[in-house]
Structure 1
Amino acid sequence: MAACLCLCAAIGAAQSTSQVIQGEEVENFLAQAKMMQFAAFKTIDEGPVPTKQLDGGVELQFQDSWRTEVAAYELDKLIGLGMVPATIERTVDGKRGSLQFWVTAQMDEGQRVKRKLSAPNPIMWNQQVAKMRLWDNLIYNTDRNLGNILITDSWQIRLIDHSRTFRPFEQLKDPKAPTTFSRSLLAKLEELNEAMLKEHLGKYLSPYQIQGLLKRRDAILARSKELIAEKGAGAVLYQ
């Protein structure tokens, strides 16, 4: 009981600072905690199927699964994105799924837009948005919306809802995004290879999904180089 209280206190402190959402301590908490008010448990495991009729039309290679929630967190760690809350595989009451650390947000993007609020540091905000757009292209995210872009009290973006990601497609979902790139993020993308992805994501993604991910990575790197050649590094790159 004391250990549980200690873990809960640590997580509470992390939530109050709106900073710590990843790392071994948070992952251990998710693995051990008996109280679920600090986490979101997802068990859906549909697909992949060739086609799926949704409200917005037919989606190809549709999947909606807790498995890609875990894969998204593991990939975030590999490339140093730092926006996806800690997510682990866990069985609760005999049901297997993903357990994700609950982020206490000040608002979501929809609320920010409705209230017409602007970030206190527009440059840093725009850089975060560019990272998010790169991320959604990398994982072929079909479910990004204003409600799953969370904003902390320190104006840090946190990204949730990755159950409809990692389609096997080689092309980018949005070939024109982003237009600026983080140097450190590009360097991490360069380091990705099939063996690394199989080691960290192979339990949750198929070989086709991993191949699609690498092809999209290549397309992102190629786009960054094209823009640098066109506009110059100073206009395209930031740290």
Structure 2
Amino acid sequence: MSAPERIPQGGVTGPDLLTLLADGELTVRGRIREASNAALVCTVALDGREASCVYKPVAGERPLWDFPDGTLAQREVAAYEVSEALGWGLVPPTVLRDGPYGEGMVQLWIDADPSAELLALIEGEEPGDGWKAIGFAEVGEGRTALLVHADDERLRRLAVLDAVINNGDRKGGHLLPSPDGALYAIDHGVTFNADAKLRTLLWGWAGEPLPADALAALEELAKALAPERRLATRLGELLTPAEVDAIRARVDRLRDSGRHPAPSGQWPAIPWPPM
């Protein structure tokens, strides 16, 4: 028997890759021990093709007081659906399917480029060219440094996506710049709550006007969220009616204001730990 064809990142896209993730045979290879919920590294193989992926079974989710039990996997898939509707491809292909430990989320594995610099700690009070300020952080011995993120179009789009999906946990470790120049974002279980819960490291554009491409993407997303459209129907399968209504309301607020949201001051704006 010949070895399966190994699918490189970006080697298969769209329906072909989703079919592989949804219908392929999952084989568990290991566990990501740093993850707060069960996250298993797997291979998925179908018709002589194979790819690496992450499988997060619903059975391995820890209960959260502010989210219904057993819903984090669905939220990960919903984040992928919204990212695709915006046309930005920021979330790796993600499906909901059965696996060795029951139903769960399966997502294409992304190899991050370790040389890409998206976050930094710098001396002084100004971020400098090419950077946006997040806030000051303690670095030991009573010293502080300015935490900054790159003034990067990909990150700016991600900041818009997070505002739409109401991401309550955008940490630095969730940013995966790939060697081909794309940026992917992972870990979207704590999203889509009907209550405002945006917590993120990407506050550098807070209050600034949204770019024209973001406004155009939000316009198309608003159309896709209309009742009976495919996206609205799919989100209705993954989220509660109140949560779907809240997505529409957030998109409308972003379009009406034309600006990136700012922290409300009513809860911590940055997740902990930030990385």
Q: Same fold (TM over 0.5)?
A: yes
Q: CA deviation at 1:161?
A: 0.5
Q: Residues 133 and 27 from structure 1, CA distance in 2 versus in 1: closer, same or farther, beyond 3 angstroms?
A: same
Structure 2: 5+ residue stretches without partners:
28-41, 44-51, 123-129, 132-149, 262-275
Q: Residues 61 and 27 from structure 1, CA distance in 2 versus in 1: closer, same or farther, beyond 3 angstroms?
A: closer
> What's the counterpart of residue 113 of structure 1?
119
1:97 counterpart = 2:104: yes
Count of matched residue pairs = 202
1:148 counterpart = 2:181: no
Structure 2 CA distance for aligned equivalents of residues 178 and 98 of structure 1: 35
**What per-residue deviation string (whole Å, max 9, x for no partner) do you get for residues 190-239 of structure 1?**
31323334312111111011011111011111121799xxxxxxxxxxxx
> What's the counterpart of residue 24 of structure 1?
15
> What's the counterpart of residue 74 of structure 1?
81
Q: CA deviation at 1:172?
A: 7.5
**What per-residue deviation string (whole Å, max 9, x for no partner) do you get for residues 157-185 of structure 1?**
1011111100012x583794563322441
Q: CA deviation at 1:154?
A: 3.3
Would the aligned equivalents of 1:90 and 1:97 in 2 still touch at CA under 8 Å? yes
Would the aligned equivalents of 1:47 and 1:65 in 2 still touch at CA under 8 Å? no
Q: Residues 189 and 32 from structure 1, CA distance in 2 versus in 1: closer, same or farther, beyond 3 angstroms?
A: closer
Structure 1: 5+ residue stretches without partners:
53-59, 228-239
Q: Residues 136 and 48 from structure 1, CA distance in 2 versus in 1: closer, same or farther, beyond 3 angstroms?
A: farther
Would the aligned equivalents of 2:165 and 2:192 in 1 still touch at CA under 8 Å? yes
Q: CA deviation at 1:21?
A: 7.3
> What's the counterpart of residue 173 of structure 1?
198
Q: Residues 156 and 33 from structure 1, CA distance in 2 versus in 1: closer, same or farther, beyond 3 angstroms?
A: same
Report which of the two structures shows the higher radius of gyration computed on alpha carbons. 2
Q: CA deviation at 1:127?
A: 1.7
Q: CA deviation at 1:103?
A: 1.1
Q: CA deviation at 1:74?
A: 1.5
> What's the counterpart of residue 84 of structure 1?
91
1:133 counterpart = 2:172: no
Query: Residue 77 of structure 2: SS of its match in structure 1?
Result: helix
Equivalent runs, 1:40-55 vs 2, <5 Å: 40-44=54-58, 52=65
**Which residue of 182, 190, 203 corresponds with 2:222?**
190
Q: CA deviation at 1:153?
A: 1.5
Higher relative contact order (CA 8 A, sep 6+): 1
Structure 1 CA distance for aligned equivalents of residues 220 and 115 of structure 2: 28
Would the aligned equivalents of 1:106 and 1:153 in 2 still touch at CA under 8 Å? yes
1:202 counterpart = 2:209: no
Structure 2 CA distance for aligned equivalents of residues 177 and 48 of structure 1: 34
Q: Residues 216 and 47 from structure 1, CA distance in 2 versus in 1: closer, same or farther, beyond 3 angstroms?
A: farther
Query: Residue 111 of structure 2: SS of its match in structure 1?
Result: coil
User: How many percent of aligned residue pairs carry the same amino acid?
Assistant: 23
Structure 1 CA distance for aligned equivalents of residues 96 and 67 of structure 2: 23
Would the aligned equivalents of 1:70 and 1:87 in 2 still touch at CA under 8 Å? yes
Query: Residue 96 of structure 2: SS of its match in structure 1?
Result: strand
Q: Residues 101 and 208 from structure 1, CA distance in 2 versus in 1: closer, same or farther, beyond 3 angstroms?
A: same
Structure 2 CA distance for aligned equivalents of residues 21 and 185 of structure 1: 24
TM-score computed with the length of structure 2 as normaliser: 0.62
Query: Residue 152 of structure 2: SS of its match in structure 1?
Result: helix
Counterpart of 1:189 in structure 2: which amino acid?
L
TM-score computed with the length of structure 1 as normaliser: 0.71
Structure 2 CA distance for aligned equivalents of residues 149 and 172 of structure 1: 19
Query: Residue 69 of structure 1: SS of its match in structure 2?
Result: helix
Q: Residues 62 and 125 from structure 1, CA distance in 2 versus in 1: closer, same or farther, beyond 3 angstroms?
A: farther
RMSD of Structure 2 on Structure 1 (CA): 3.4
More helix as a share of residues: 1
